[in-house]
């Protein structure tokens, strides 16, 4: 990947922020590296990228080992299998895909007190797709209260993957619905500062609706050519 690709995307991100009257610095670009080799991630890191996300634990561990000399921030964004919670708690700084209390409890217990709390977002199934993970909006509040009470997690906000649509208006409505969920939790007294939403095809409307983290894969690394492997 050439450095100018990253620069072009950063410029688009900044333009989207300014158009929404927001500070571009308030938005973190997270590079989603699934299926791409460590060398691709290293090239991006050398161009100044700090935050990297992975979906599969085993694939992530291999890349982290290959990139251990770099001071990167690691995000887990994939489905969380119960038997992987210890590895996730040990090897990541953020987890965006928490959608049930049991998983949160296990992450907290595995994180323990010797490390800073694990940053956590709750994944919301905002478009109510049966095929998607995530907690339904009406079930968010009890989950958020439970997660906020766990000692070794720090609940930061919400993550969502809305139903893909080419319609800008529908993209914005779905992102606005996620932001509303966040605001309801805040009104309930839960401290949150993160909206993880927006991917390669829709990060600009996500920023218009308040995203503080956008997760970009194909735009940074190119098309994912081979199938995702199983863990």
Minimum separation from the CB atom of position 35 to ligand PLP (A): 9
Q: Looking at beta carbons only, is 165 or 200 nearer to ligand PLP?
A: 200
Q: Looking at beta carbons only, is 104 or 152 nearer to ligand PLP?
A: 104
Q: 175 Cβ partners below 8 Å, 6+ apart?
A: 160, 162, 197, 198, 202, 205, 206, 208, 209, 210, 211
Q: Looking at beta carbons only, is 89 or 161 nearer to ligand PLP?
A: 161
Minimum separation from the CB atom of position 34 to ligand PLP (A): 6
Q: Which residue is nearest to ligand PLP, using beta carbons?
A: 217
Measured CA to CA, the distance from residue 44 to residue 1 in angstroms comes to 7
CA 202 to chain centre: 14
| CA atoms in the 13 A half-sphere facing the CB of 41 | 30
Q: Where are the beta strands (DSSP E) in 2-57?
A: 28-32, 51-54
Give the DSSP H or E segment for 57.
helix 57-66
Q: Looking at beta carbons only, is 155 or 206 nearer to ligand PLP?
A: 206
Minimum separation from the CB atom of position 114 to ligand PLP (A): 29
Minimum separation from the CB atom of position 208 to ligand PLP (A): 17
Measured CA to CA, the distance from residue 146 to residue 162 in angstroms comes to 24
Q: Looking at beta carbons only, is 106 or 215 nearer to ligand PLP?
A: 215
Measured CA to CA, the distance from residue 38 to residue 54 in angstroms comes to 12
- The footprint of ligand PLP (CB under 6 A) covers 32, 34, 55, 77, 161, 199-201, 215-219
Minimum separation from the CB atom of position 214 to ligand PLP (A): 9
């Amino acid at each position: 990947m050439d450095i100018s690709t990253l620069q072009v995307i950063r410029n688009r991100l900044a333009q989207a922020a300014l158009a929404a009257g927001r500070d571009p610095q308030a938005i973190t670009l997270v590079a989603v590296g699934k299926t791409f080799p460590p060398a691709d991630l290293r090239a991006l890191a050398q161009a100044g990228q700090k935050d990297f996300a992975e979906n599969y634990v085993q694939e992530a561990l291999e890349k982290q080992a290959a990139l251990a000399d770099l001071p990167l921030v690691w995000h887990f964004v994939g489905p969380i299998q119960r038997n992987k919670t210890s590895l996730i708690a040990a090897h990541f700084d953020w987890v965006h895909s928490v959608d049930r209390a049991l998983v949160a409890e296990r992450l907290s217990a595995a994180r323990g007190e010797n490390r800073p709390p694990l940053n956590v977002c709750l994944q919301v199934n905002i478009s109510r797709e049966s095929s998607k993970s995530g907690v339904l909006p009406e079930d968010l509040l009890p989950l958020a209260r439970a997660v906020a009470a766990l000692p070794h997690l720090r609940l930061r906000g919400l993550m969502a993957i809305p139903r893909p649509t080419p319609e800008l208006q529908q993209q914005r409505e779905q992102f606005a619905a996620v932001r509303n969920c966040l605001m309801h939790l805040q009104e309930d007294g839960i401290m949150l500062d993160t909206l993880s939403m927006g991917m390669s095809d829709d990060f600009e409307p996500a920023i218009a609706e308040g995203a503080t983290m956008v997760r970009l894969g194909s735009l940074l690394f190119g098309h994912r050519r081979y199938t995702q492997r199983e863990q």
